[in-house]
């Protein structure tokens, strides 16, 4: 069945108000550090539920008493899935039918004999409403209590049990299947699937041990993954709606960023035990005190810059630098970075961080060493760099972003912050990728009217060398470890296509992957741009 793309107008509305609702049949993707970027997409705002009642109770109390046993009293999920806008991507009628008719083969009963149509509509409006931060609680003790060992590490093999190259594995988000497909980047053969949570989102790789990877789902579940046996060995829930993940240079610490509640969580990377929960709030660029979602987290090189995590507060418009070498995890803050922050990336020596301010239509340049704003670069309508593209050519370092609001790639000189090229594409995009192994930069245009164009341009001349139009809904190019091939997801056709990075010819098509979106190579563990 055709998975339709939302209109650009809807996207712009979403980014303006920063509300995380789903729309019918939407299939999209959101990292900085190996994260699957995704802009919020908004459907029609449901009616206010403040005064709504069911069976004489306020709707939130009715839900907690009646539905909370499975779905959590504040919709955070339990034996049943979380019922919050970021997870609910179908139209309201779908959820009304589900409540009325139940779900065969599950413990979800039919409520049509117990609730009127009007009461069911009230309940649908409630689950599609954005929970207030105050109502969503997931504190240190909740994180700690959720930790679960799935496989004892003593029972794990001493060497890989598969034929794939451990330093060239492609981890591919199977978006709706709650799993990750693993492909050998040498042979392009599907090796298997790993358990994950809802919309596997952030990926990081242990820079000190090639067997460990970590994945964060949109529902807040963080998995520790053994790449030798291709299985999850441990999990913990860091929040109810999560986005970003990073690991320290020494492999000791993880940090996860949440949309709900408004927190960042620091954990022991070996045990997944929580060490600190940080509430994210502050004064926004307009002088308002706000609680804020964490839209991005990143690590930087401890050797080149310092033992720091970087997080961005979406609504507060702030950047925080966290020193993980101090057990108290002290924080240095920069205010007035921009309005509605989103993705960002580091330069090659980690001394600068580039963060998208999507409402302002600029990229803010942050001096990571001195922790101050250097410049704000006007790039275009709603910059969306994803994990970014950084490369060197002609003795100069360059960075680039696509835009979620217009069909354009903007390239700038990372030393002078001057724009050097604007490359047209067939429509708005989400992901752009480069590697030091190849002179070519690849970008998608997944919000174009026909969302199947991949633009390839020469990073030396900024000339377009190829426009690939295979497939139906193509996104998230990712290089193999040696840069010889590029993987591209086709979300619509449930395949991943592999291209020669030099000739741009199609090498093979990988089947057996459901809802492929974000693709991340295990060689990222050795990258200075994030693990």
263 strand-pairing partners: 279
DSSP-assigned states of every residue in 16-73: HHT-----TT-------SSB--------PPPPP-TT-EETTEEHHHHHHHHTHHHH-T
Task: Give the percent of the chain with pLDDT over 70.
Answer: 87
Q: What's the mean pLDDT in 122-146?
A: 84
Question: Structural domains in the chain?
Answer: 8-135 (1.10.760.10), 140-526 (2.140.10.20)
222 strand-pairing partners: 216, 236
pLDDT value at residue 178: 87
Q: Say if CB 205 and CB 225 are below 8 A apart.
A: no
pLDDT value at residue 199: 80
pLDDT value at residue 7: 36
Q: Find the range with the poorest average confidence among 73-77, 243-247, 259-263, 466-470.
A: 73-77
Distance in angstroms (rounded) separating the CA atoms of residues 257 and 342: 12
- Higher pLDDT pick, 158 / 129: 158
- Higher pLDDT pick, 68 / 86: 68
Residue 15: pLDDT above 70? Answer: no
Distance in angstroms (rounded) separating the CA atoms of residues 281 and 262: 8
Q: Please choose, from the candidates 391, 388, 523, 489, the residue with its C-alpha nearest in 3D space to the C-alpha of residue 172.
A: 489
Q: What's the mean pLDDT in 15-41?
A: 38
> What is the model's pTM?
0.82
Distance in angstroms (rounded) separating the CA atoms of residues 385 and 368: 18
Q: Find the range with the poorest average confidence among 2-16, 136-150, 195-209, 372-386.
A: 2-16
**pLDDT grade, residue 25 (50/70/90)?**
very low
Q: Find the range with the poorest average confidence among 114-123, 342-351, 393-402.
A: 114-123
Residue 351: pLDDT above 80? Answer: yes
Q: What's the mean pLDDT in 38-64?
A: 61
Distance in angstroms (rounded) separating the CA atoms of residues 518 and 454: 15
Read off the pLDDT of residues 285-320 as tens digits, 9 standing for 90 and up: 999 999 999 999 999 999 999 999 999 999 999 999
Q: Name the percent of the chain in helix, strand, coil, to the closest 5.
A: 10, 40, 50
pLDDT value at residue 131: 72
**What region does 61 belong to: left with phi over 0, alpha with psi -120 to 50, or beta?**
alpha
Q: Say if CB 385 and CB 432 are below 8 A apart.
A: yes
pLDDT value at residue 306: 96
Q: Find the range with the poorest average confidence among 43-52, 125-134, 496-505.
A: 43-52
Phi, psi of 145, deg, nearest 5? -70, -25
pLDDT value at residue 10: 37
- Higher pLDDT pick, 124 / 82: 124
pLDDT value at residue 32: 43
Q: What's the mean pLDDT in 467-482?
A: 97
Q: What is the mean pLDDT of the chain?
A: 87
Residue 380: pLDDT above 70? Answer: yes
Read off the pLDDT of residues 407-431 as tens digits, 9 standing for 90 and up: 999 999 999 999 999 999 999 999 9
Q: What's the mean pLDDT in 179-186?
A: 97
């Amino acid at each position: 069945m055709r998975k339709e793309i939302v209109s650009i107008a809807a996207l712009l509305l979403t980014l303006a108000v920063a509300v995380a609702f789903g729309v019918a049949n939407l299939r999209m993707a959101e990292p900085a550090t190996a994260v699957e970027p995704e802009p919020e997409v908004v459907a029609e705002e449901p009616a206010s539920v403040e005064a709504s009642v069911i069976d004489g109770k306020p709707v939130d109390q009715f839900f907690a008493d009646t539905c909370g046993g499975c779905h959590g009293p504040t919709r955070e999920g339990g034996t049943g899935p979380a019922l919050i806008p970021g997870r609910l991507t179908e139209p309201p009628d779908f959820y009304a039918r589900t409540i009325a008719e139940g779900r065969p083969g599950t413990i979800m009963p039919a409520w049509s004999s117990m609730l009127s149509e009007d009461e069911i509509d009230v309940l649908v409006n409630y689950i599609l409403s954005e929970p207030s931060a105050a109502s969503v609680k997931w504190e240190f003790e909740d994180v700690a209590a959720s930790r679960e060992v799935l496989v004892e590490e003593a029972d794990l093999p001493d060497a890989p049990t598969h034929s794939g190259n451990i330093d060239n594995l492609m981890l591919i988000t199977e978006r709706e299947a709650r799993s990750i497909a693993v492909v050998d980047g040498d042979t392009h053969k599907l090796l298997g699937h790993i358990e994950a949570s809802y919309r596997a989102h952030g990926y990081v790789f242990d820079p000190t041990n090639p067997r460990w990877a970590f994945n964060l789902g949109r529902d807040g579940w963080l998995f520790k993954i053994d790449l030798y046996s291709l299985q999850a060995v441990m999990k913990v829930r860091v929040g109810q709606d999560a986005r970003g993940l990073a690991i320290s240079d020494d492999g000791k610490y993880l940090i996860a960023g949440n949309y709900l509640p408004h927190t960042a969580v620091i954990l022991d990377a070996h045990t997944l035990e929580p060490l600190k929960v940080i509430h994210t709030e502050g004064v926004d660029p307009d002088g308002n005190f706000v609680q804020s979602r964490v839209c991005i987290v990143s690590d930087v090189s401890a050797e080149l810059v310092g033992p720091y995590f970087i997080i961005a507060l979406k609504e507060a418009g702030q950047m925080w630098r966290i020193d993980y070498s101090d057990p108290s995890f002290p924080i240095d803050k920069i205010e007035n970075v921009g309005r509605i922050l989103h993705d960002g990336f580091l330069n090659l020596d980690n001394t600068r961080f580039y963060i998208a301010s999507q409402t302002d239509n600029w990229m803010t340049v942050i001096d990571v060493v001195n922790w101050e704003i250097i410049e704000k670069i006007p790039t275009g309508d709603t910059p969306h760099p994803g994990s970014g593209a950084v490369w060197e050519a002609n003795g100069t370092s360059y960075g680039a972003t696509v835009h979620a609001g217009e069909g354009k790639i903007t390239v700038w000189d990372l030393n002078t912050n001057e724009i050097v090229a604007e490359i047209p594409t067939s429509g708005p995009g989400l992901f752009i990728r480069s590697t030091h192994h190849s002179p070519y930069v690849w970008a998608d245009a997944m919000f174009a009217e026909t969302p199947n164009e991949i633009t390839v341009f020469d990073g030396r001349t900024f000339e377009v060398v190829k426009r690939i139009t295979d497939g139906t809904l193509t996104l998230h190019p990712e290089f193999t470890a040696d840069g010889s091939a590029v993987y591209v997801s086709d979300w619509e056709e449930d395949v991943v296509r592999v291209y020669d990075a030099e000739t741009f010819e199609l090498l093979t098509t990988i089947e057996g992957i459901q809802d492929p979106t974000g693709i991340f190579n295990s060689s990222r563990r050795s990258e200075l741009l994030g693990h």
